[in-house]
């Protein structure tokens, strides 16, 4: 897609203290008579009282099969203040609460956990915005990337504000206020944990970018969190079931760990909307072959690749899990993968985790 020039002129190269025009849209980094400011000194706004607060909601996207966690910002068009809501990995919808009535630009940036000791720099500019190109359909013919004004009314939600225009030139969008989105800080040493709960917390935070809380009421408004509601342990592996998301946009998740006794490690997380996590005992899903794979997946009399084959299930076969998980350690020097976790499929036999998906 052809993007507009990234030249920043006038108030685009200074810090904003007042609006840079009053048109209904502002170009994302383009040279024009109505120029976008950096927003570097824009201050966080105080949540409005309930009687005066509105909200903004919409869908989240990303130009990839992977949907990263994001921080969505509403910046007042006069540049005086901003409001923000976080999402977790895979969260497709957001709702920003406590936004006072007024006019805003809506932009977003990816956010991932930061491990102490890492040198990864935080993002400094927004990656996408709610622009005229979004309303146009984001096709190659949509060349106007001007930011659209979003009007918020008290006690009302402003829906369908989708900050999905990722298709602009580098550095086209403004700087992120307050030095970038808040970073979820993870411990430097994440190899082994003394308890399964510690490993579960690491899994939840590192895989979803949600802050671990003990119960949902501990999660502040507009902050992405993760929490557990139950657990189950098999042989060398286990999982916590719970949720991850922000405000009312939450997903059911399984947070999987490996280990036993006092030696545990984080493994992975699987989340989906509106259903129990899968794979998990009592939940249902399907057999899913990987890209380019053909044929069927073996089910066996016991966990492990050397056990007797009882049958072979085709791609798309519905299944229900009634046992597991079992971890079969890989060869020395090989990192654990989903090929090392086994589940019992009701009425069929044992199947490797990699081919059990939503």
The pLDDT of 79-104, averaged and rounded, is 97
Q: How confident is the model at residue 271 (pLDDT cuts 50, 70, 90)?
A: very high
The pLDDT of 231-244, averaged and rounded, is 97
- Mean pLDDT, all residues of the chain: 88
Least confident piece of the model among 139-153, 219-233, 246-260, 271-285? 271-285
Determine the pLDDT at residue 51. Answer: 87
Least confident piece of the model among 32-36, 110-114, 307-311? 32-36
Write the burial class of residue 131 (CB in 10 Å: 0-12 exposed, 13-18 middle, 19+ buried): buried
Q: How many residues does the chain have?
A: 358
Is the CB of residue 61 less than 8 Å from the CB of residue 162? yes
Read off the pTM: 0.87
Q: Which domains does the chain have, with CATH numbers?
A: 10-179 (2.60.40.1120), 189-357 (no CATH)
Listing DSSP states for 9-59 in one string gives -GGGGS--SS-S--SSEEESS--SSSPPP--TTPEEPPPPPTTTEEEEEEE
Per-residue pLDDT tens digits for 135-176: 999 999 999 999 999 999 999 999 999 999 999 998 899 999
Task: Locate 279 and state its tokens.
Answer: 């794979």
In the chain, % helix, strand, coil (3-state, to 5) comes to 10, 40, 50
Beta bridge partners of 231: 240
Q: Is residue 58 predicted with pLDDT exceeding 90?
A: yes
Q: Is residue 5 predicted with pLDDT exceeding 70?
A: no
Least confident piece of the model among 26-40, 177-191, 269-283? 26-40
Task: Locate 24 and state its tokens.
Answer: 């209904």
Per-residue pLDDT tens digits for 91-103: 999 999 999 999 9
Q: Is residue 32 predicted with pLDDT exceeding 70?
A: no
> Which residues are within 8 A (CB) of 264 and not within 5 positions of it... i.e. 6 or more apart?
192, 193, 194, 195, 196, 198, 199, 257, 258
Determine the pLDDT at residue 276. Answer: 86
Phi and psi, residue 133, nearest 5°: -65, -30
Task: Locate 311 and state its tokens.
Answer: 């049958």
């Amino acid at each position: 897609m052809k993007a507009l020039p990234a030249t920043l002129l006038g108030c685009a190269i200074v810090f904003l203290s007042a609006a840079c025009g009053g048109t209904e849209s502002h170009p994302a980094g383009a040279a024009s008579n109505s120029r976008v400011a950096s927003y570097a000194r824009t201050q966080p706004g105080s949540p409005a009282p309930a009687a005066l607060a509105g909200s903004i909601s919409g869908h989240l996207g990303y130009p990839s099969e992977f949907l990263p966690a994001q921080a969505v910002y509403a910046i007042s068009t006069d540049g005086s203040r901003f409001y923000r809501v976080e999402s977790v990995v895979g969260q497709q919808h957001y709702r920003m609460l406590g936004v006072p009535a007024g006019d805003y630009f809506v932009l977003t940036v990816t956010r991932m956990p930061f491990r102490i000791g890492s040198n990864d720099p935080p993002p400094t500019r927004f990656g996408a915005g709610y622009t005229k190109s979004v309303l146009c359909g984001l096709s190659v013919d949509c060349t106007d990337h001007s930011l659209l004004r979003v009007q918020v009314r008290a006690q009302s939600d402003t829906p369908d504000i989708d900050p999905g225009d990722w298709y602009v030139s580098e550095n086209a969008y403004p700087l992120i206020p307050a030095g970038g989105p808040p970073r979820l800080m993870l411990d430097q040493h994440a190899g082994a944990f003394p308890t399964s709960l510690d490993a579960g917390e690491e899994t939840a935070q590192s895989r979803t970018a949600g802050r671990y809380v003990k119960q949902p009421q501990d999660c502040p408004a507009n902050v992405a969190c993760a929490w557990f509601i139950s657990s189950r342990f098999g042989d060398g592996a286990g999982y916590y079931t719970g949720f991850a998301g922000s405000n009312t946009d939450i997903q059911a998740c399984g947070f999987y760990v490996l280990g036993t006794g006092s030696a545990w490690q984080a493994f992975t997380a699987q989340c989906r909307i509106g259903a129990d996590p899968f794979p998990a005992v009592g939940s249902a899903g399907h057999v899913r072959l990987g890209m380019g794979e053909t044929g069927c997946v073996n089910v066996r009399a016991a966990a492990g690749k050397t056990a007797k084959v009882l049958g072979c299930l085709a791609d798309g076969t519905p299944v229900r899990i009634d046992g597991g998980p079992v971890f079969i350690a890989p060869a020395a020097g090989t990192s654990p993968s989903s090929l090392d976790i086994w589940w019992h499929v009701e009425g069929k036999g044992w199947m490797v985790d990699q081919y059990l998906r939503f």
